[in-house]
Amino acid sequence: GVGLGKFLAETGLTTFDGGFVNTASTKSAITYIDGDAGILRYRGYPIEQLAKGSSFLEVSYLLINGELPTPSELEGFTNKIQRHTLLHEDLKRFFDGFPRNAHPMPVLSSAVNALSAYYQDSLDPKDPEQVELSTIRLLAKLPTIAAYAYKKSVGQPFLYPDNSQGLVENFLRMTFGLPAEPYVVNPDIVKALDMLFILHADHEQNCSTSTVRLVGSSQANLFTSISGGINALWGPLHGGANQAVLEMLDEIKESGGDTKDFMNRVKNKEAGVKLMGFGHRVYKNYDPRAAIVKETADQILQILGVNDDLLDIAKGLEEVALSDDYFISRKLYPNVDFYTGLIYRAMGFPTRMFTVLFALGRLPGWIAHWSEMNADPTGKIGRPRQIYTGYTERDYPNMDQR
């Protein structure tokens, strides 16, 4: 790769790969995917083992630092995060400016970008102590910001974080709790959400992570770079797919639950009709995360006593897809977003919060990639080339000649 890059630069040649289908933008030691075999590993550890035995904060430490923490390292990391969960009081007022019906994703990305204005002592990407401080601040404050984005949308008062609680418990309490009523966190929900965050924690050079790297390649600070990633995540072809899946399932239910009719519209490539939550640029096999999520959906809905027609519709769609030549020939399988929304819904989250939950999970991966890039002394600013297709040269006509 480096040899080819040098050769192209010296000869003035340019390669064209729209959508970066075959082009590696970086070397990375964080996450390994074998899309044909359906394998995903963080720092060498299989996703199945991490989902079963680890915790979200431990995985965050692993992704960012490269190794699993010892018990005392994890305790130190957790304590630091717990000390930084509060938002500056002025930043809390920032939420007042948004309309009540705002989608929580732009509220989230704007507030994260605003952290650069409130925490100016941790903006230097080349100072390891400042990078560590901004890392801790982000991990600690994103759940608070996410909960406030929700509270804003339902017109309820913000709750201060309770630092005696773990990250996921605290987030659930700030989201669903009310000042006058003690909120009892369901440990099954905590466990399932923590595990879902692990599954979302990194996925190598996806659209949002590549965005974080590209913004950060100009030596922009961590908060601003992550804000860029949150915006990239919002699109329905990326993290926004979890919301789009639920809307699709609802639409199928509303129109009588005919999955075959919907699948025909997908296969006929009716404008705007896709099987959301299916397909992936890298996986040409079952997404290993989707397999775990599907199993969890069954378990958690049962534990919570939720009977959701949409789960049956989703399973029906998958069954049709896995035996249909359109999907088989294109190697289209469920991705991570296909079943997550059903779990989030059973937990009580409104559809518009789903992509916010994805962002909470993906944060450590974004930070790990931004840090890996900044630690590389040979790193260059990201600056793709283009194939120009416009006019060659033409003379400027004065206004009276047009």
Q: Which of 266, 293, 314, 320 binds ligand ACO (CB under 6 A)?
A: 266
How near is the Cβ of 201 to ligand ACO at its closest, in Å? 12
Does residue 47 bind ligand ACO (CB under 6 A)?
A: no
Strand, helix or coil at 176?
Answer: helix
How near is the Cβ of 357 to ligand ACO at its closest, in Å? 12
The nearer residue to ligand ACO, 182 or 272, going by C-beta atoms, is 272
Find the residue with minimal CB distance to ligand ACO.
279
The nearer residue to ligand ACO, 137 or 369, going by C-beta atoms, is 369
Does residue 260 bind ligand ACO (CB under 6 A)?
A: no
Does residue 241 bind ligand ACO (CB under 6 A)?
A: yes
* Total residues binding ligand ACO (CB under 6 A): 20
The count of C-alpha atoms lying within 13 angstroms of the C-alpha of 172, restricted to the half-sphere facing its C-beta, is 21
Catalytic residue among 200, 287, 337, 369: 337
The nearer residue to ligand ACO, 238 or 253, going by C-beta atoms, is 238
Does residue 314 bind ligand ACO (CB under 6 A)?
A: no
How near is the Cβ of 212 to ligand ACO at its closest, in Å? 14
Distances (CA, A) of 237 to 110, 243, 287, 362, 391: 21, 11, 16, 16, 32
Distance CA 292, CA 262 (A): 26
Provide φ and ψ at 178, rounded to 5°: -130, 150
Strand, helix or coil at 34?
Answer: strand
Which of 151, 144, 123 shows the shortest CA–CA distance to 223? 123
The nearer residue to ligand ACO, 224 or 335, going by C-beta atoms, is 335
Catalytic residue among 200, 280, 287, 369: 280
Provide φ and ψ at 344, rounded to 5°: -60, -40
How near is the Cβ of 286 to ligand ACO at its closest, in Å? 13
Does residue 279 bind ligand ACO (CB under 6 A)?
A: yes
How near is the Cβ of 274 to ligand ACO at its closest, in Å? 4
Name the burial class of residue 67, with classes exposed (0-12), middle (13-18) and buried (19+) by CB atoms within 10 angstroms of its CB.
exposed
Q: Which of 280, 294, 345, 369 binds ligand ACO (CB under 6 A)?
A: 280
Distances (CA, A) of 107 to 112, 134, 144, 177, 282: 9, 20, 12, 20, 30
Does residue 229 bind ligand ACO (CB under 6 A)?
A: no
Binding residues among 327-386 for ligand ACO as defined by CB under 6 A? 330, 332, 335-337
Contact 273, 285 (CB under 8 A): no
How near is the Cβ of 320 to ligand ACO at its closest, in Å? 12
Distance CA 402, CA 385 (A): 33
The one segment of 55-63, 180-188, 268-276, 310-318 that binds ligand ACO by CB under 6 A:
268-276
Does residue 281 bind ligand ACO (CB under 6 A)?
A: yes
Task: Tell me which residue has tokens 């709750």.
Answer: 159
The count of C-alpha atoms lying within 13 angstroms of the C-alpha of 216, restricted to the half-sphere facing its C-beta, is 30
Distance CA 275, CA 265 (A): 10
Contact 259, 252 (CB under 8 A): yes
Distance CA 255, CA 243 (A): 19
The nearer residue to ligand ACO, 237 or 375, going by C-beta atoms, is 237
Name the burial class of residue 21, with classes exposed (0-12), middle (13-18) and buried (19+) by CB atoms within 10 angstroms of its CB.
exposed
How near is the Cβ of 36 to ligand ACO at its closest, in Å? 14
Provide φ and ψ at 279, rounded to 5°: 90, 150
280 is catalytic: yes
The one segment of 48-56, 89-97, 148-156, 232-240 that binds ligand ACO by CB under 6 A:
232-240
Enzyme catalytic residues: 280, 337
Binding site for ligand ACO (CB under 6 A): 19, 206, 237-239, 241, 266, 274-281, 330, 332, 335-337
